[in-house]
Structure 1
Amino acid sequence: MNLNQLNVTEISGIGESKREVLQELGIVSVMDLLEYLPFRYDNHQLKDLADVKHEERATIEGKVHSEPSLRYFPRKKSKLSIRVLIGRYLITAVFFNQPYLKKQLTPGQTVTLTGKWDAHKMTMTVNDIKFGIQPQDESIDPVYPVKGEMSVKQVRRLIKMGFGQYGDQVEEVLPVSTRDAYKLWPRSKALYSLHFPQSFEHLKQARRRMVYEEFLLFQLKMQMFRKINREQSAGETLNFKEEDVQKFISSLPFPLTGAQGRVTGEILNDMSSPYRMNRLLQGDVGSGKTVVAAIALYAAIASGTQGALMVPTEILAEQHFQSLGQLLGPHGLTVELLTSSVKGKRRADILSRLAAGEVDVLIGTHALIQDEVEFFKLGLVITDEQHRFGVKQRRVLREKGQSPDVLFMTATPIPRTLAISVFGDMDVSVIDEMPAGRKAIETYWAKHHMLDRVLGFVQKELDQGRQAYVICPLIEESDKLDVQNAIDVHAQLQQYFQQYNVGLMHGRLHSLEKEEVMREFAENRCHVLVSTTVVEVGVNVPNATIMVIYDAERFGLSQLHQLRGRVGRGSDQSYCILIADPKSEEGKERMRIMTETSDGFVLSEKDLELRGPGDFFGNKQSGLPDFRIADIVHDYRVLEVARNDASKLVNSKAFYTDDSYALLRDYLKQTGAFSSERLD
């Protein structure tokens, strides 16, 4: 019997009215109900108050020390306060909207309280109270998300009824061999124990089983996409001579770092294979991704094909045009630039030569994906800061050739756990080493009252001919947030630095206006650039040596690191100054970490731990899988095991024939993985 297809009303005691309420919770089938998991567990084991952390939920036992005090508020709201002696601590217990407790609480009475502890105010906000001395058993209460007329107790009761009737019919998806290898519980037992744990050890084993299953199913889907994409995208093997590429590498003005050499080898192996390359190249700001891109482009051209590099802004395209022209030009390769600013005869000339195969490398913005742009034989497509382009834009560029190799580049260090999750169908290369001789950016944390000292320091750098960025979290003043905004700061700094040109850039400017502001800054016609975070992925201005970030606690570590990477690009010492008065411990921790490390990958992992995966990419990113129980931050070791297992399975013959894998195959069919139904 398929419990996914069995309506929840088949459970005795669930009629039409309950069905409607359950449907609001997303519960339609019997299996939906059995898999409706708690979002937390309340531990009713008694704790010593000395061991309870600030804002932790806990259960404590003590004696009522005073008469209750009851206050009423509008709309029948109430607050009841009472002093309770817990060991040697005298605390305040607060009960909201439970006025009836006033008659039940008397001095000297033993009570067991469960609630949230405020260590600063020595107060517990109580949500559960028991009278008298309670038996010391291991009490774990699951808490479910509920709404409307449904209570947590009702949900538990319905789930218990569901297991009583259908628990023995829960289908097992993992083969016996896998369960035995990792000593995993059967699915029905694990699910039941997540709802009704007998102990924390039981809960741990049940969760361990379900986390592995969730990761394995997700990774099977990713690995199947990857396998089918490889098989269906038999790219053209690029036949370049290895010694020619090595000669080009030897001709570079500086030796490759070990990391650059490693990722170059991975990319060249992909390009010479019969499959289309689909690789993500991660490298911190200044790690030398452009040089790796130049080597890949050289190899593509040496094999008789053309290369394309698409970047998000005109000024970035111009900088790549200059740097790649300097690297590839001396070897007789033709590099051209195509942006919306290239018009008329010049544009027509580039397009005709491109179609005739006389242009080796074309660098540009979205202009590259316009219909009239035709390549003679496109072999390699590179997109820089690939998250700035939509799926369709990347696909259009790819379709300009016959299954060309594709290399995505990003300066946003993505934690390994997220890379495995979100980019599981791509190969990932990481440049995790900086070129020798590069000066580390000195980072300082200053409070707002130290602003005059900070601006005095900026003045000294400007007087020596340097430039500075000043970043603000908002464009203009907000009623809701007490933070600095770019428009006000720009006006203030124009007064402070009267002999210098202070520019302003923010997201409401038209793209051409933004380009012009950045061009002025790049050409040292603007000396101080006040901006919102739109400058985050931007340009190479070696003369800029100072990055000042107002209200720095409002940014995540990865974003702060990206902003810091705008300076430190020249031979002069550069500085990043974080102006912040963080009120939370997390905010203080972020400032401390920023001043102590400049490794983007370390920072990205810390950011993931502090803020969680949803905030890492931002709410608009839809690439993150929505796991019910697994946590990609804390369960990353299981994620890696599941990924390796999934890869072995989809590449084995047994997976497609053995009966023990039938349910896993069914799952993949349902998700459309076998037909590779995925956007990108």
Structure 2
Amino acid sequence: MYSLPLGDSLRSRSVTTLPGIGRARAERLQRLGIATLEDLLLHLPRSYQDRSRFSPLTEALRQGEGLVCTRVLSHEYFPFRRERVLKIIVHDETSAAALVCFGRAFLARLAPVGSEVRIWGQFSLRRGEIQSSAFEIEPHDPQRPLAGIIPVYPLTEGISQTVLRNALKSAWALAAPHLGDDLPDRLRARAGGLTCAEALRAVHWPQTLPQARQSRHRLIFGELFLFQKELALETLARRRARRVRRQSPGKSLVETVLKNLPYQLTPDQARVLGEIRDDLRHPWPMARLLQGDVGCGKTLVALLAACAALEQGRQAALMVPTELLARQHLRNARELLAPAGLTVRLVLGGLPKAEKEALADDLSQGRVDLAVGTHALLSETYSYPALGLVIIDEQHRFGVRQRELLTRRGENPDVLMMSATPIPRSLALTAFGDMEISTIHHLPPGRSPVTTHLARIGNEERVYRFLRRHLDEGHQAYLVYPAIEEGESGTLRSATAMEERLTRELAPHRVGLVHSRLSEEDRSTRMDLFASGELAALVATSVVEVGVDVPNATVMVIEQAERFGLASLHQLRGRVGRGPARSYCILVYQEPLTEEARQRLKVLYKTTDGFVIAEEDLRIRGPGDLPGESRGLHQSGFLAFRLADIRQDMTIMTQARQAVREDLAVQGDLAVRENLTIQGDLAQNLPGETKQNHKEIP
């Protein structure tokens, strides 16, 4: 968390030591996250009122607010409930306006007809006239100076703007003489030339609005610079401490597999594979995040990465969150890697004792090239004498501890993490800021675009007729529901009840049911029946969100779609459109919709681009519950940013990141002392995107 360059005693000093802040006010300030002088000084204005100049009434209307100097034309009254409400009519050279004085009839004496008055207010056009009911008014005195730029702070009940502004003045008087700076001198010009103290003073008491914006930018830049520098130094230290003895590659397994593919890699896949292979030549372990849209071919690249590690005489492990996904990866890996003669084994919990012992022996003797499994890979039963690459799919489903446990099973193994869906660039640079980031942006050719439709509950018969027509044509479909059993969550439709109904509705087509309470064996059996075409329709919960690849499935129906998150809806939609036939996703929703639910459905309807959806998801719900337990989130994470808002300050984040690279390049002897190979720009050895994939992350 960002801290001001201020001595600890002052930084942690309680606000109760300030004039006018007793115990009661201190408790109210706590609701704003303010307990210390530092908290108070970093409580930045949410907006400013420009009272440094007069605006014409027409400009104040256009801006929505403003300071105007007008003459009172008349007083009018109109009935409202049981009262007579005063309306003061004022005018200037551009227009007239009505000041509606609810409960403020005394203002007639303050602003008599014919007098000049200053008004700060919010103006809007109502009933054909400019009006304001939220305003401050005072007699105009030409000798009295204007108030200037007035900061407006976030408040809580019992704390007024006046109380907060007075407390800030007292805190500033104590802290200002002792404030240092948080940026090196050589970088200050890039941040607008302001020191931390100058920026802090100007953000609270600006002379102009541009100065307020510049000072806020400077403070946010300082916070993000220190965040990015911490990540970079930790990465350099990790690479110093953890070294890898690379062997010269033996036979080219990657090329063998590529020659036997019935298609070519997409340009994105080829580029990302090249980035990974470059990592595997460095003397430090790889730490890379591979992200891309649903169905973009991340798994293929991960399996080719495993081949690259195996070329160096090492083992690889692929950890996934569910048995269903593990079995699918096993099938894909065996089919893909067969031409290279590689041994792939499945590691699951609950294996029979004899099978587990045989598997443990094969792993310990190095007879398994690639182990694919769930968290069972972490079991002490299994040892990996040459574990060189750890691949973690759907990384957000695993905690930090689980990921670290697997990486500790080898001697500084390389780590490749994969995200289920695209990650907003701002999150990628915070939650995964200490990793290299590779992005597959484009889908392989031949994928059918998915057409999305919206339907209200009550129109299901039309949906089922549409569905039956596709089943009659020999295609397959998913129908997803938010609950397993009826009565679990109030009015939610359940997969179990709907499976009974749909069996009748869709006869003679066979319908199956899959949900999380089934045993892994039953789930896998039913999924295999669906994949083989024996089941025409699969009724399910969100358990089919990942790990399902049935090219013949062309229809996805999601009922009560408003109950699902945006990422889940996008993942579910990605289950169809995997073959050449035209595919459809039908989002069935129940009214009334919340505003957030309405926005989610609107986004899904408008776009199939996972990167756009990821950014919209961040915009709609904010960063509060986005992926997981990663280092960026909990140890230095973006949720702890005190000044920056990752949804709005991405440009500053990028500027700070580049400044860190330049700053460390100036201090290049640091890397040299630690025997870190510097190839050209030090940026190549710092966490983050390469120049190529910088363009790929929107």
Q: What TM-score do you get using the length of structure 2 for normalisation?
A: 0.79
- Which stretch shows the higher mean deviation, 477-486 or 300-309? 477-486
How much does 1:322 deviate? Answer: 1.0
Whether 1:184 aligns to 2:193 is yes
Of residues 379, 393, 403 in structure 2, which corresponds to 1:394? 403
Whether 1:67 aligns to 2:81 is no
- Which stretch shows the higher mean deviation, 12-21 or 447-456? 12-21
Contact 1:329 1:335 in 2 (8 A): no
Partner of 1:30: 37
Partner of 1:223: 232
Contact 1:285 1:411 in 2 (8 A): yes
Q: 1:153-552 maps to which residues of 2 (within 5 A)?
A: 153-241=162-250, 243=252, 245-448=254-457, 450-473=459-482, 493-494=502-503, 496-503=505-512, 518=527, 521-524=530-533, 526-552=535-561
Code of the residue aligned with 1:35 in structure 2: it is: L
How much does 1:541 deviate? Answer: 2.4
Whether 1:632 aligns to 2:646 is yes
Structure 1 residues 123, 384: CA separation in 2 closer, same or farther (over 3 Å shift)? farther
Code of the residue aligned with 2:615 in structure 1: it is: E
Contact 1:11 1:30 in 2 (8 A): no
Of residues 5, 16, 22 in structure 1, which corresponds to 2:9? 5
Q: What SS is found at the alignment partner of 2:478?
A: strand
Of residues 606, 611, 626 in structure 1, which corresponds to 2:616? 606
Contact 1:287 1:434 in 2 (8 A): yes
Partner of 1:668: none
Q: What TM-score do you get using the length of structure 1 for normalisation?
A: 0.81
Code of the residue aligned with 1:313 in structure 2: it is: T
Contact 2:481 2:495 in 1 (8 A): yes
Q: Distance in 1 between matches of 2:390 and 2:538?
A: 33
Q: What are the Cα deviations for residues 2-31 of structure 1, in whole angstroms up to 9, with x where unaligned? A: 444123469663676478445665545433
Of residues 80, 100, 104 in structure 2, which corresponds to 1:101? 104
Code of the residue aligned with 1:600 in structure 2: it is: G
How much does 1:627 deviate? Answer: 1.9
Q: What SS is found at the alignment partner of 2:304?
A: helix
Structure 1 residues 392, 101: CA separation in 2 closer, same or farther (over 3 Å shift)? same
Code of the residue aligned with 1:370 in structure 2: it is: S
Q: What SS is found at the alignment partner of 1:569?
A: coil
Contact 1:112 1:134 in 2 (8 A): no
Q: Distance in 2 between matches of 1:37 and 1:194?
A: 7
Q: Distance in 1 between matches of 2:587 and 2:59?
A: 36
Q: What SS is found at the alignment partner of 2:428?
A: helix
Q: Distance in 2 between matches of 1:417 and 1:574?
A: 32
Structure 1 residues 386, 415: CA separation in 2 closer, same or farther (over 3 Å shift)? same
Q: What SS is found at the alignment partner of 1:421?
A: coil
- Which stretch shows the higher mean deviation, 620-629 or 56-65? 56-65
Q: Distance in 1 between matches of 2:100 and 2:490?
A: 33
Q: What are the Cα deviations for residues 472-511 of structure 1, in whole angstroms up to 9, with x where unaligned? A: 4566789999876656655654553354455555567776
Code of the residue aligned with 1:613 in structure 2: it is: P
Q: What are the Cα deviations for residues 152-179 of structure 1, in whole angstroms up to 9, with x where unaligned? A: 3111101112223432332212122211
Q: What are the Cα deviations for residues 606-662 of structure 1, in whole angstroms up to 9, with x where unaligned? A: 3334443335548997553322222222221211121122234345537979xxxxx
How much does 1:130 deviate? Answer: 3.2
Q: What SS is found at the alignment partner of 1:362?
A: strand
How much does 1:413 deviate? Answer: 0.4
Q: 1:12-161 maps to which residues of 2 (within 5 A)?
A: 13=19, 17=23, 20-21=26-27, 26-41=33-48, 58=65, 66-67=77-78, 69=80, 100-101=103-104, 104=107, 114=121, 129-130=136-137, 140-147=149-156, 149-161=158-170
Structure 1 residues 619, 495: CA separation in 2 closer, same or farther (over 3 Å shift)? farther
Partner of 2:694: none
How much does 1:372 deviate? Answer: 0.3
How much does 1:38 deviate? Answer: 2.9
- Which stretch shows the higher mean deviation, 387-396 or 191-200? 191-200
Partner of 1:661: none
Code of the residue aligned with 2:607 in structure 1: it is: T
Structure 1 residues 199, 321: CA separation in 2 closer, same or farther (over 3 Å shift)? same
Code of the residue aligned with 1:284 in structure 2: it is: D
Q: Distance in 1 between matches of 2:146 and 2:515?
A: 59
Gaps (5+ residues) in structure 1? 72-78, 658-680
Code of the residue aligned with 1:432 in structure 2: it is: H
Q: Distance in 2 between matches of 1:610 and 1:511?
A: 35
Gaps (5+ residues) in structure 2? 672-698
Contact 1:111 1:130 in 2 (8 A): yes
Whether 1:597 aligns to 2:604 is no
Code of the residue aligned with 1:38 in structure 2: it is: P
How much does 1:233 deviate? Answer: 1.5
Q: What are the Cα deviations for residues 516-573 of structure 1, in whole angstroms up to 9, with x where unaligned? A: 6645544545543444434323322223211123344555544332221111223332
The alignment covers a number of residue pairs equal to 644
Whether 1:643 aligns to 2:657 is yes
Structure 1 residues 511, 3: CA separation in 2 closer, same or farther (over 3 Å shift)? farther
Q: Distance in 1 between matches of 2:528 and 2:98?
A: 62
Q: What SS is found at the alignment partner of 1:443?
A: strand
- Which stretch shows the higher mean deviation, 168-177 or 401-410? 168-177
How much does 1:307 deviate? Answer: 1.1
Q: Distance in 2 between matches of 1:488 and 1:11?
A: 63
Q: What are the Cα deviations for residues 100-158 of structure 1, in whole angstroms up to 9, with x where unaligned? A: 53555799988957569799999999665436679996865433344464433111101
Q: Distance in 2 between matches of 1:84 and 1:490?
A: 67
Q: Distance in 1 between matches of 2:489 and 2:134?
A: 31
Code of the residue aligned with 1:33 in structure 2: it is: L
Structure 1 residues 64, 399: CA separation in 2 closer, same or farther (over 3 Å shift)? farther
Q: What are the Cα deviations for residues 53-112 of structure 1, in whole angstroms up to 9, with x where unaligned? A: 9xx9746989875436368xxxxxxx99887879999999696xxxx5355579998895
Q: Distance in 2 between matches of 1:30 and 1:121?
A: 49
Code of the residue aligned with 2:208 in structure 1: it is: S
Contact 2:118 2:138 in 1 (8 A): yes
Structure 1 residues 543, 89: CA separation in 2 closer, same or farther (over 3 Å shift)? farther
Contact 2:514 2:541 in 1 (8 A): yes
Structure 1 residues 531, 152: CA separation in 2 closer, same or farther (over 3 Å shift)? farther
Code of the residue aligned with 2:655 in structure 1: it is: V
Q: What are the Cα deviations for residues 322-344 of structure 1, in whole angstroms up to 9, with x where unaligned? A: 11101112222111112125323
Contact 1:503 1:530 in 2 (8 A): yes
